[in-house]
Amino acid sequence: MAKQPMLKFVKVERDMPTKRAAKERREDFHEIYAEYADAKAKEQASRCSQCGVPYCQSHCPLHNNIPDWLRLTAEGRLQEAYEVSQATNTFPEICGRICPQDRLCEGNCVIEQSGHGTVTIGSVEKYITDTAWEEGWVLPIKPARERKESVGIIGAGPGGLAAADVLRRQGVQVTVYDRYDRAGGLLIYGIPGFKLEKPVVMRRNEQLEKGGVRFVLNCNIGEDMSFEEIRAQHDAVIIATGVYKSRDLGGPGSGADGIVKALDYLTASNRKSFGDEVAEFDSGKLNAEGKKVVVIGGGDTAMDCVRTAIRQGAESVKCLYRRDRANMPGSQREVQNAEEEGVQFEWLTAPKGFTGDPVDGVIVERMRLGLPDATGRQMPEVIEGSDYVEPADLVIKALGFEPEELPTLWGVPELEVTRWGTIKAEFTTGATALPGVYAVGDIVRGASLVVWAIRDGRDCAEAVLRQLNGASAVAAE
């Protein structure tokens, strides 16, 4: 009988891939975790207890078949592991890198609950598909037959690209429009290289292009082309435009030079990593080098800003957040990484105003946590008379994002939105109030996660296929 390769969690300790030393990683924008060696990936996969009811799978938004690809990895059957993994996830190597696994699959692994340390699901998922790329198993799409119907997708982020992939595999003619010069959305211009190196995304863009997906870049819908033109050209349209309007700060001095938006700052840094000319970076406006940097916010965007500032050679980097560490929205893993790299966190603080123009300081108020609000979350309250000035010559606002007003911008008032401005769409299909128009990702959910955008894109593509199949059946009658 074959030797039992699984259930090794009792003997084998949880072991993440090696994290580079903070001193070294402060100097560059490369990812901070090394790749598993083959033997290590097998060993870590073999810790899985192959649960009959795998909670890891039910808490993965894509319901990835995790126990199966862990077993195949432990057995050394990597190509099969890749086939199983890619059947439910369009970009497994991306999710393996940047999903907040502690809140999703790994946080619900039963052996974690029994005190043995979770199976390192994300790292194994990344390892499987990185190996698939190295071995040449990831191939451009070759549909069995071409169809004449076409779908226009507005937005080349993970939501739009996941939909493009599913539709193209069925032979549909797919055109993806994006206002940026590179496809990838926030995978390219939001998330920094130390979490997700850019070639990992670019090779996916190339794979889609080689498989027949047509990209129309530098095309801002609503300006360079109207929404109605897109609708007229395609049998169905998917809106996957994300959320880009930054929440702002008020208070005296908030309009001073040197106070910038997180996404402008991160985009400039990501563009520099491609070797692009970025005037506002070269002028110093969006460059933290030699500066006292204060980042305001406690989410993942704030974490990306503080860690980018460290890598740009800031003199000091502080993060102000109005709640405490336990109540921050960002991942605890990222806070730990930031602390190791030299970021100082000022918990329970909020900006009241700014001094100087250009800015030279933030007037900070200390907070305490008061009574819970309707959601049960304790509300921060100001401690009167606790103000102090934090010296700063670059202030980065990372307070979250809201949707742009698409019905107005695009002149389509019939496109219904929620009271938060996100597009009203059916969650399982993405269908909107307009016939043949669908929406997916952050523009429906509000700022969310890559894995949810992928899920939406895949579900929506299936719904679009049902629409196209229905229409072609009627035409054939």
Of ligand FAD, ligand SF4, none, which one does residue 190 interact with (CB within 5 to 8 Å by kind)?
A: ligand FAD
Alpha helix (H) residue ranges in 287-441: 300-311, 332-341, 406-409
Residue 37: CB minimum distance to ligand SF4, A: 20
Among 236, 240, 268, 425, the residue binding ligand FAD under the rule CB under 6 A is 240
Does 99 sit near ligand FAD (CB under 6 A)? yes
CA atoms 173, 174, 177, 181: torsion sign = negative
- Whether residue 242 contacts residue 155, with contact meaning beta carbons closer than 8 Å, is answered with yes
Taking the complex as a whole, the smallest distance from the CB of residue 283 to ligand FAD amounts, in Å, to: 22
**Stretch near ligand FAD under the rule CB under 6 A, chosen from 102-110, 219-227, 344-352, 379-387:** 219-227
CB of 84 to ligand SF4, least distance (A): 12
Binding site for ligand SF4 (CB under 6 A): 48-51, 54-56, 60, 62, 64, 66-67, 89, 95-96, 99, 101, 104-105, 109-111, 119, 121-122, 125, 451
Q: Return the residue matching tokens 């009792």.
A: 10
CA dihedral 443, 446, 449, 455 (to 10 degrees): -50
Partner from ligand SF4, ligand FAD, none binding residue 301, C-beta < 5-8 Å depending on class:
ligand FAD
Q: Which residues contact 439 (CB under 8 A, 6 or more apart)?
A: 238, 239, 240, 423, 425, 430, 432, 460
CB of 286 closer than 8 Å to CB of 278: yes
The partner in contact with residue 64, picked from ligand SF4, ligand FAD, none with C-beta cut-offs of 5 to 8 angstroms by kind, is ligand SF4
**Tokens standing for residue 9:** 């969690």
| Partner from ligand SF4, ligand FAD, none contacting 50, C-beta within 5 to 8 A by type | ligand SF4
The reply on whether position 439 binds ligand FAD by CB under 6 A is no
What are residue 33's DSSP bridge partners?
A: 19
Nearest to ligand SF4 of 110, 369 (CB atom): 110
User: Nearest 5°: CA angle at 369, between 367 and 373?
Assistant: 125
The distance of closest approach from Cβ of residue 290 to ligand SF4 in the complex, given in angstroms and rounded to an integer, is 37
Among 174, 453, 460, 461, binds ligand FAD (CB under 6 A): 453
Cα-Cα-Cα-Cα torsion 161, 163, 168, 170, nearest 10 degrees, comes to 160
The partner in contact with residue 176, picked from ligand FAD, ligand SF4, none with C-beta cut-offs of 5 to 8 angstroms by kind, is none
Site residues for ligand FAD, window 153-212 (CB under 6 A)? 154-160, 177-180, 185-186, 190-191, 195
Distance CA(39)–CA(48), nearest Å, equals 15
Give 106 or 304: the residue with its C-beta nearer to ligand FAD: 304
The span from the CA of 300 to the CA of 196, in Å, is 14
CA atoms within 13 A on the CB side of 254: 13
* Nearer of residues 50 and 469 to ligand SF4, judged by Cβ: 50
The count of residues interacting with ligand FAD (CB under 6 A) is 35
Distance of CA 228 to the CA centre of its chain: 29
Looking at beta carbons only, is 394 or 449 nearer to ligand SF4?
A: 449
Rg (CA), the chain: 23
300 belongs to the binding site for ligand FAD (CB under 6 A)? yes
d(CA 354, CA 319): 15
Check binding of 442 to ligand FAD (CB under 6 A).
yes
The residue ranges that bind ligand FAD (CB under 6 A) are 98-99, 154-160, 177-180, 185-186, 190-191, 195, 220-222, 240-242, 266, 300-301, 304, 441-442, 448-451, 453
